[in-house]
Each structure stands twice: as structure tokens, then as C-alpha cells.
Structure 1
Amino acid sequence: MSTSPLITLNIGGTLFHTTHQTLSLTGPTSPLSSLPLPSPSSPPPFFDRDPDLFSHLLSFLRSGFPPSPSLLPSLLTEAEFFSLPPPLLSKLSLPLHFNPFALSPSLSLHLNGRDRISSVSVSPSSSVLSVAHGCKVTTFTPSLLHKSTVLTPLPFIDVVLPLSSSLGAAGAKDFPGLHLVNLLEASPPEVLHWAPHPSLANSSTVLAIGYSPNLIFSSFESCRRNSNAIVAFDLEKFEPVLEIGRKEIFAAEIDTAIPATKLSWINNLGLLMAAGSHAGPAGFSGYVRFFDTRTNRLAFEIEEKNLDCFADVAASDSLLSVFKVGVSSGDVYMTDLRKIESFDNWTLIGEGRRSGDMKKKEGLGCKMECYEKNVFVSREGEVEMWSKAAMADEEKSVMKRNFMGRGKEGEEKKKITQLAFGGNRMILARKDEMCLEVWQS
């Protein structure tokens, strides 16, 4: 028999009796866990919610077993209202199968204000979606039914990564420090808990943020732009534990210290991929570096000093390959990560456009992301997908291209500026539009 105090709740006019011990499972941010102990003179706390759904939620808290799948979507919304922690929310989430061939635009998520969207990212653990626009961060719950917008002291946020349903990391190219931000809408009007880490140099700005199961990585560049490095933070205490690949500029040789603007973790190989490029009088140049964080050494580097340097690059953990889109040709290339130490050249996939005018910069502005066993490339207002297809006559496979959601002839779609994936969704942001386009399978 439980010795925890008995608590009575009024849910939509129906009384429920439970214990403080059961309600404490909802986590410290939930209004259910901070209810005062009952007194004879005070009425039961009232919540204007559906009592039938709450009975299933209470049963889930008591047993730990979710109800039938038909109830999960409604129960997930109820759990989000009561701010249950991510581990419990994940138990109430339907297993979502990502089918790239069935993706279609399903809804628009509108944002507050008129600032352009600068960063869109999805939490790797809780499917929380965060969007940076101007000095604000808007966060959507996994069901996309609820959102909260918080203001920050940064004049403009360039990159944001949600670490959980309530905490995110953010940075700016023109404002020093990596910052922790409370993603939940707060009251009173000091809407934000915002704390730069004291151990970081105040003169370093953030260009990119990445993550692994245990670490968060941030690419820093000094405000004088004469040095840069990648710093790894422990996810538990959020303390810097490792500095990776410090580079410094000597004299006018800017190519010696191009900062990383994209960070990706390759879990199957335990490598951190860092990529950066630079446009100068001599054209484009860049690099793709792979770091072993266990030994803090550079495992391999691909230098890009040719006419067709990458406009964007992405690593696929599932395909164990790295892909790039050429800035001049717009062609898509790949290389096998299992043979990266003997790298000779990129392999062109598809027919290619190299016969065209290389001065047109066909790939400039293209975005590239890998998700599961697919590669997605944005081209102006459209998205093309490359998927692995087996050949019938031999034990080989090739990458096949598919066009997604092509509009009618003559119909112009605004340029895609951001591309992100999570669960069974693809999220797009378009130029000058203050809403997100959500594609679901």
C-alpha cells in the first residue's frame, strides 16, 4: 500500500483520486507534479480537459504501458498539455515510418513576426522542432499542435539545435558565445533563461552546431576571424571537454583556416565530419575533414580546390557515404566512407550537367541533407531525392534520382532556404515566407 498523500483532481467536472507519488512521474515542469497538498477547506484543483482522456493518461502513469494505438494521437496531445518529459512522450508516439516516395505537403506552420528564417532543426531524441527567426526561437511539440516563441538577447540567431523539449543550444555569427536557451514559453515577461558558458572566450562566434549521443559540437571562429576551432561539450553538465582541429590564419593565406560551417556525426564509424568552404578571387575552395574524437586526431581530409568545389555536403550514416553538390555544375557526387583513406576522387552519380557552362554556378545556394537511406537536394524551389536502387542482373546498386512535388509548368515556387528531417517528416523553409512547409509520409 502506498504511503504517498492522496490527491483529488477535478478534470472537466469529473473527480479523480490519485497519489502525489504517481503525479511526480510527470516531471518537474508539469503542473501535476507541483500541486499543493490537499486541505479540507480548499476545492480540488481544476483542469478544463477531457476526463476520458485523462483517465487513460493516469492509467499510463500508474502502469507504464501505453493504451491502444487508436488512442495514442489524442493522448499525446494531452501529455504535451501537461508537459510530460520526453521519455514518456516517446512512449505515446506512434512508430512513424518514413516513406520518401509518399511524402507530400500536408500543413503549414506559421511563425510570429516578420524576420526571415535562419535555422530549422529537429531534436535527435524527442522530435521537437525549433526554428530561429531574427532574435526569436519558435519551438513546436512533436505533434506540431502546440508552439511557443521566446525572445533572446541576441540581435539575430544563425543556428539553433533543440537538445530536449525544453532546452536548446543557439549561436550567432556576429554575437559571441554558445548559448543555452529555455525553449518553453515562460511567465512573467522575462521570457527566457539565457546563459552563455563562462569558460568560453567572449570573442568567439558560433558558425555551426552538431551532436553525437554524448556530446554537442560547436564550430567557433574568433571575431577577428584569424582562428577557429571545434569545441565538444558534455551533454550532461554542458561543460567543454575537448577542442578539435584548431586552425589559425598566417599572413594572407586565408585557405589555411577556413572555419567549419557544417558538423555531422557518423555514428557507425565514430567520426565527426566538419566541412567549410570559402569564395575568393581565385574561386571556391574548401575541405571535408573527419575527426576521431576518442583520440582527438584528424582521421582524413578531402581538400576542395577545384572549379567544382562543393556548394553543400552531407554524410549518410546508413549508406556509409559522403555526398556533395558541385557549386559550378550542380552535379551530385559521392564517395564511400569505408574507402575514405584511399580517396582518389568524387564519383559522379546520375547523368550530370558538366557539359553546361561551369561559370553559371548551377549549384550555388543548393541545400543537401541525408536522411535514412536517401539524399535530398534542394534546387531553387524544388527538391530532388537520390535513393539506392538494386540492379537485377548483379549484386550491385546504383543511386536513382526522383523529383518531389514538381509544380505545374510555368508555376514558380520560392527558393528553398532550409531543409530538415525528423520522424516521418520533411520540413522546408522558403525565401521571404514566414511559415514552414511540412511534408509527411
Structure 2
Amino acid sequence: MGTPKGRVKLNVGGRIFVTTATTLEFAGQNSLFRAMLDENWNLHSDSAITEHFIDRDPDYFAVLLNLLRTGELYIPPKIDKKLVYKEAEYYGILDHVRSAECDKFDGNRPRLARSITGVRYLGPSKPARMAGAVWRMANNLCWIDSENIVVSSDENLDSGGMGLFNASTGELRYKFQVTDVLKGYTADALGVSSDNKLFSSCTKSTSNKHGIGVWDQVAGKQIDFLDWSPYKYQHNASRLQWLHDTKCLMIASFHPRNDISLYDVRNDKVVWSWSGVYARSSYDIACEKIFRDVVEIEESSSICIVDWNECLGFMDLRGNGTINWRNSIKGVIPFFPWEGRSYSCYPKLAFHEGQLFSSLNDTITVYSGSDWVPTSQFQQSHGGPIWDFSIGGDHLFALHRNEDVLDVWDTPRSPMT
């Protein structure tokens, strides 16, 4: 189904509300509104507006509709908060209310909520708990919503590759389907857009071909393949990030050259690009700023970069491409991770709710303020170094390298009254 954009007239308990189908779609896949949009409503045109009746209290509906419009929850004094929760549960948007009412994830007040095992197996059907030899190595982790995460593994896409997991239990819900064009590719970097598209960089080692697969993450079906070869960026993307403000996909590659580009998916066009130093050999890592991860900070139109030594650099997208580097924070990590050292995971970055996060080994460092001063660190004693982590809503998910452990961190909530 295409995304409907028409106006919607709702008669809720005798009061008329006019909104758009786009606003109602923010309620999510499991909401009453999305079910009605998919099955019953023909809203693709503004020419005809049909009135739809919902037999509920209009005062409470007004509070929830405003939440969908603005993302903020305001409960007037005359409204019973407990009944707001009940009405939100009826409409299937209780998560929206809880998320708006509680604090977002705060890296300065982290709490280990739970540890989940079993999220890394994406191979052929096997018992849920098996020896380590049958577990496929996870590559990347991506937060989808309050209920789901996606993990990519080193398994070929035609026999596994990417799975949607329950964010609370680690249960594998389904493996993403692929078309013949992606048979034999391996999934790597992940990104998800605001319209439910999942992007994964894909590599075919036998032919050294690269591209970006696109899936409908709700249906689990592949819907497109972006062949990156027509562009000058011939190597695999190590980092994907959907930019909500510009509706572009940030694509970054780190070897044999640092490349960053902003790609307009709708118009199949690169709208901004930057290229840096080549790595002439593995030994260049010791003396050159070879990137290990990048993240765009949309609110400041800048990109944050971390190199092998966990030096942080910042580039203003409106400037001339100059990177302002900070001093190393934790010292040099080993150049040769294949030597079997326990601290061989590369640094990873994330940005969430005004805070910058960087992982190295088993520790996550949080930076805050305009000068990005380190304000806190947190770590877990088991699971080994962190291979990847992802933040969404009020949770941080950290996938560990040595064991099938996914740590879930949150911020303690204030008790509901």
C-alpha cells in the first residue's frame, strides 16, 4: 500500500476531528488507526472526505491526537491521567504515551535492565541453545521500535543474514527475505528510515560486488537494491544512517579510503560527499586518521568521527570539509584484532537526545554539552567487548562480541501516579 496523505474526518463520540492519514500513521503498525488505514479507508485523495465514527470519549481522543501531531503529551487538569492510559491502550498507542511521559534514555543515568542471550543465531533451524560453534557472528545491530531490533550476521543473505528479534526476549521473529539479486551477499551495516524501510550494506566476497539492499521491515520483504557501483565509491559501506530532517541516507566507507556521502534515495542522487585519506597498508593505521565509525548530528549539521585510537573529530557540513580532532581519550587499540585479544572491537558511535555515545572494548563513554565533555561511562562485567550498540526511545542495546549477550540499558523512570 502506498502511504496515504489525504485528510481524515473522525466523529469521536459526537465531536468532529479533522486530521491527515500521515498523522495517524505515526501511531504505528499495531495501532487501531493503521489497521483502519490498511483495510478499510480509501484516503489517497483529498477530493472526498468521508466521516468515520469512533464510539469513544472525545476529550481523551483530543489529548492523544495532539500527541500524534506534536510528539508531546499535554494532559489538561480536567483529564484523568489513568483514563488517558486506558484510552491509549484501546487505540494501540500506549507506548507513545509512556515514551512521551517518561525521560528519554540518559547516558548519565544508565541502569542495566536485563541481559538477553540467543540473539546472534541466524543460520538454519537449530535448537535455541547450542554450542558456540553454530552461532553466526553478528555484524551490526539496529533499533527499530519499542518491540523490535534487527541484527545482521556474517551468514549469507540467502541462508540467514538478517533477523528481526524481540527487543524484550531476544526471540527471533523472522529472517528477512531476499530476491535472487542478493543471493550469496553478506549483510553488514544497518539503517532504518521513518517510513519503515530497512537498509543494509551488502557484499559479495566472491566477486567483490557491493550494494545496499532495501527491505520493508514490517513485511520482511526485499523491495529494492541500490547498486552503488555506478558511483565512485566502489567499496562496501561500513556505516548507514537515515537522516530524518533531509530524508537522505548517510553512507560511509572506511577502507581503503574514508568516504562519506549523503544519498537522496528518492531521486537516486548524491547531494553531498567527502573523501579523505587512503590506507596504503594495514600499518598506516598507526599514523593516519583512518575512520572506524561516523555519525551525523542533525541538529548541528555536523558529523562526528572516531578513528582507530578513539580520537573524536568533528566536521561542519556547511564548511570546507575540515575535521577538528580531539586528543585520544583511551589510548591506542590493537591494530591486529585477529590476534585474539579480548579488547579487539572497534569504536562505535551513536547520537541520541543531545548526547554523544562512543563504545570501545566493554565500555560506553557519554559526552554532553556544546564542547562534548566526557560526563559518564558504563560497562557490564560479562559478555566481552561491545561489537555494536543502538539507541532508541528510552533503551540502549549493546551487542557483545564474545558471547551471545545483548545488554539492555535504560533510565530509571519516575513512578506513575
Fold conserved (TM > 0.5)?
yes
Asked whether the 8 Å contact 2:164–2:176 carries over to 1, the reply is no
Asked whether the 8 Å contact 1:272–1:292 carries over to 2, the reply is yes
Matched to 2:156, the amino acid is F
Once the two structures are TM-superposed, the CA of residue 321 in structure 1 deviates from its matched residue by 1.0
Once the two structures are TM-superposed, the CA of residue 291 in structure 1 deviates from its matched residue by 1.5
Q: How many residues align?
A: 317
Name which structure has the greater RCO, CA cutoff 8 Å, separation 6+: 2
Q: Distance in 2 between matches of 1:160 and 1:427?
A: 8
Once the two structures are TM-superposed, the CA of residue 347 in structure 1 deviates from its matched residue by 0.8
Show the counterpart of 2:244. Answer: 267
Asked whether the 8 Å contact 1:161–1:209 carries over to 2, the reply is yes
Show the counterpart of 1:378. Answer: 359
Q: Which entry has the higher C-alpha Rg, 1 or 2?
A: 1
Once the two structures are TM-superposed, the CA of residue 332 in structure 1 deviates from its matched residue by 0.5
Q: CA-to-partner distance for each residue in 1:329-350, whole Å, 9 max, x for gaps?
A: 42100101223xx32x31114x
Please say if 1:228 is aligned against 2:210: yes
Once the two structures are TM-superposed, the CA of residue 436 in structure 1 deviates from its matched residue by 1.0
TM-score by length of 2: 0.60
Show the counterpart of 1:440. Answer: 411
Please say if 1:98 is aligned against 2:104: yes
Show the counterpart of 2:191. Answer: 210
Q: Distance in 2 between matches of 1:290 and 1:262?
A: 12
Show the counterpart of 2:275. Answer: 302
Gap change, CA 1:319 and 1:195, over 3 Å in 2: closer
Q: CA-to-partner distance for each residue in 1:133-154, whole Å, 9 max, x for gaps?
A: 2239xxxxxxxxxxxx999x99
Q: Distance in 2 between matches of 1:100 and 1:162?
A: 16
Show the counterpart of 1:415. Answer: 385
Paired residue secondary structure (2:101): coil
Show the counterpart of 2:179. Answer: 198
Gap change, CA 1:270 and 1:404, over 3 Å in 2: same
Show the counterpart of 1:332. Answer: 312
Asked whether the 8 Å contact 1:276–1:288 carries over to 2, the reply is yes
Paired residue secondary structure (1:318): helix
Show the counterpart of 1:353. Answer: 328
Once the two structures are TM-superposed, the CA of residue 109 in structure 1 deviates from its matched residue by 1.4
Note the residue ranges of structure 2 that are not aligned, 5 or more in a row: 1-30, 36-54, 65-78, 280-287, 337-342, 413-417
Alignment of structure 1 residues 87-236 onto 2, 5 Å: 87-91=93-97, 93-98=99-104, 100=106, 102-104=108-110, 106-113=111-118, 132-135=119-122, 155=136, 158-159=139-140, 161=142, 163=144, 171-177=152-158, 183=165, 194=175, 196-198=177-179, 200-214=181-195, 215-233=197-215
Note the residue ranges of structure 1 that are not aligned, 5 or more in a row: 1-23, 29-57, 114-131, 137-148, 186-190, 249-254, 279-283, 390-398
TM-score by length of 1: 0.57
Show the counterpart of 1:287. Answer: 259
Q: Distance in 2 between matches of 1:377 and 1:290?
A: 22
Paired residue secondary structure (1:428): strand
Once the two structures are TM-superposed, the CA of residue 266 in structure 1 deviates from its matched residue by 2.0
Q: Distance in 2 between matches of 1:429 and 1:168?
A: 11
Asked whether the 8 Å contact 2:365–2:377 carries over to 1, the reply is no
Which moved further from structure 2: 261-270 or 308-317? 261-270
Identity of aligned residues (%): 14
Once the two structures are TM-superposed, the CA of residue 263 in structure 1 deviates from its matched residue by 0.4
Q: Distance in 2 between matches of 1:171 and 1:236?
A: 16
Paired residue secondary structure (2:96): helix
Gap change, CA 1:425 and 1:92, over 3 Å in 2: closer
Gap change, CA 1:387 and 1:183, over 3 Å in 2: closer
Matched to 1:176, the amino acid is L
Gap change, CA 1:102 and 1:183, over 3 Å in 2: closer
Q: CA-to-partner distance for each residue in 1:144-194, whole Å, 9 max, x for gaps?
A: xxxxx999x995554454656777755433312487867569xxxxx8554
Gap change, CA 1:425 and 1:247, over 3 Å in 2: same
Q: CA-to-partner distance for each residue in 1:92-146, whole Å, 9 max, x for gaps?
A: 5442333746423x23413245xxxxxxxxxxxxxxxxxx32239xxxxxxxxxx
Gap change, CA 1:230 and 1:438, over 3 Å in 2: same
